[in-house]
Amino acid sequence: MLDVSDPVIPQPFTIFDLPLHLLDNYTDWLVTQIQQQQGVHVVTLNAEMSMQADANPDLAQVIQQAELVIPDGAGVVLYLRLRGKRVARCPGIELAEALIRRSPNAQAEGQPASLFFYGGSPGVAQQAADQLQSQQPSLAIAGVQHGYLSADEHRDLCDMLAAKQPAIILVGLGVPRQEFWIYEHRHLCPQSIWIGVGGSFDIWAGTKTRAPQWLRDNHLEWTYRLYQEPWRWRRMLALPKFAWRALWHG
Residue 180 maps to a domain: yes
Please report which confidence band the pLDDT of residue 2 belongs to, taking 50, 70 and 90 as the band edges: very low
Taking the CB of residue 159, how many other CB atoms lie within 10 A of it? Answer: 11
Q: Residue 156: is its pLDDT beyond 90?
A: yes
Mean predicted lDDT score pLDDT of the chain: 88
Residue 200 maps to a domain: yes
Residue 7 maps to a domain: no
What confidence score (pLDDT) does residue 228 get? Answer: 65
- This prediction's pTM: 0.88
Per-residue pLDDT, averaged over 147-175, amounts to: 97
Residue-number span of the structural domain to which 71 is assigned: 13-248
Cα–Cα distance for residue pair 117/146, rounded to 1 Å: 8
The sign of the dihedral angle between the CA atoms of 74, 76, 77, 78 is: positive
Q: Kindly report which listed range (80-89, 105-114, 229-238) carries the lowest average pLDDT score.
A: 229-238
Check residues 106 and 6 and name the one with the higher pLDDT.
106
pLDDT tens figures, 85-141: 888 899 999 999 999 999 999 887 767 899 999 999 999 999 999 999 999 999 999
Number of domains comprising the chain: 1
Q: Residue 183: is its pLDDT beyond 60?
A: yes
Please report which confidence band the pLDDT of residue 244 belongs to, taking 50, 70 and 90 as the band edges: confident
Beta strands 40-45 and 114-119: pairing type? unpaired
Per-residue pLDDT, averaged over 213-229, amounts to: 62
For 83-119, give the secondary structure using H, E and C. Answer: CCCCCCCCCHHHHHHHHHHHHHHCCECCECCEEEEEE
Taking the CB of residue 220, how many other CB atoms lie within 10 A of it? Answer: 14
Tell me which range, 58-62, 73-77, 210-214, 220-224, is most confidently predicted by mean pLDDT: 58-62
Residue 5 maps to a domain: no
Q: Which of 209, 211, 225, 236 is nearest to 75 (CA)?
A: 236
Residue 165 maps to a domain: yes
What confidence score (pLDDT) does residue 227 get? Answer: 52
What confidence score (pLDDT) does residue 226 get? Answer: 58
Residue 6 maps to a domain: no
Cα–Cα distance for residue pair 23/98, rounded to 1 Å: 15
Q: Where are the alpha helices (DSSP H) in 150-237?
A: 151-164, 177-185, 200-205, 213-217, 221-228, 233-236
Residue 4 maps to a domain: no
103 bridge partner residues = none
